[in-house]
């Protein structure tokens, strides 16, 4: 089997939508350009934009499943971000502009539970995306593992549930977990695989509707004894990655 890149995704505003790409230029030691550039801090958060903080500080899909149905499109030139959701009109705004904050908060409010900490502000940490790891990470996903979960559940699942960055098919489920500590070349870029991604309730929500309709966590635990899907990797050599590029374990 020829291992090639099938999908590239970025998530400009953490937990608020995804955008498909045809190519991306990775930079050593950094997150994917345009991925998790911003995050939405809630009113109980200590995040101030000065440094990385854990995901508990942010409004996210594990607590607000409706957010999982958002699509995003980032204009790299202007910085304008467009969010779309099946239950809301499209919103285009500048996440860096304080004047646009209330428009975003008003748009997002119907998509978040009333009994949770309310979204309060958008933060950005200079020099890195707000990934769930304390190191700048890129998530790598194996189609074979996705098919294994579908088979175990007896239903089709959108791969968008996993909110991964780069997808390819290793031909065998869960072999990506065996790559921890190893290097993998994707296109021109080289990654060091650091750790598995332990999954949360966000993956139980349908990315088209925002409704929780699949117990992914129970399926993972009962069938494989873990709640992992995909792996976090660190960029050690930068370079271009395009759809169709080769994937090779070094």
Domain edges within the chain = 5-30+133-249, 39-123
Longest Cα pair distance anywhere in the chain, in angstroms? 51
Alpha carbons 92 and 59: distance in angstroms, whole number: 19
pLDDT in the model for residue 116: 87
The pLDDT-based confidence of 113 (bands split at 50, 70, 90) is very high
Residue pLDDT, tens place only, 205-227: 999 999 999 999 999 999 999 99
Provide the mean pLDDT of the chain.
Answer: 97
Is this structure's pTM higher than 0.95? yes
DSSP, res 126: T
Share of residues in the chain with pLDDT > 70 (%): 99
- As beta bridge partners, residue 242 has 23
- The answer to whether the CB of 137 falls within 8 A of the CB of 194 is yes
Mean pLDDT of 52-67: 96
pLDDT of 2 over the 80 cut: no
DSSP H helices, 109-236, are 143-153, 216-224
Question: What is the CATH code of the structural domain delimited by 5-30+133-249?
Answer: 2.40.33.20
Alpha helical stretches, state H, 192-245: 216-224
pLDDT digits (tens, 9 = 90+) for 118-136: 999 999 999 899 999 999 9
């Amino acid at each position: 089997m020829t291992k090639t890149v099938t999908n590239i995704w970025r998530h400009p505003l953490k937990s608020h939508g995804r955008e498909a790409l045809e190519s991306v230029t990775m930079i050593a030691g950094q997150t994917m350009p345009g991925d998790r550039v911003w995050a939405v801090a809630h009113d109980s958060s200590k995040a101030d934009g000065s440094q990385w903080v854990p995901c508990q500080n942010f409004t996210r899909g594990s607590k607000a499943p409706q957010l999982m149905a958002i699509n995003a499109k980032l204009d790299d030139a202007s910085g304008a971000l467009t969010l779309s959701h099946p239950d809301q009109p499209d919103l285009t705004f500048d996440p860096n502009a304080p004047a646009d904050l209330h428009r975003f908060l008003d748009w997002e409010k119907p998509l978040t539970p009333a009994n949770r900490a309310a979204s309060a502000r958008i933060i950005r940490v200079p020099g890195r995306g707000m990934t769930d790891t304390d190191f700048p990470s890129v998530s790598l996903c194996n189609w074979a593992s996705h098919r294994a979960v579908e088979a175990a559940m007896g239903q089709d699942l959108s791969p968008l549930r996993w909110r991964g960055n780069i997808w390819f098919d290793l031909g065998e489920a869960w072999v990506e977990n065996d790559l921890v500590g190893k290097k993998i070349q994707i296109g021109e870029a080289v990654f060091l695989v650091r750790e598995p991604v332990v999954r949360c309730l966000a993956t139980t929500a349908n990315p088209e509707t925002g409704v929780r309709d699949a117990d992914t966590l129970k399926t993972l635990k009962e069938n494989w004894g873990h709640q992992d899907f995909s792996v976090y990797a660190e960029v050690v050599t930068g370079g271009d990655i395009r759809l169709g590029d080769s994937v090779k374990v070094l």
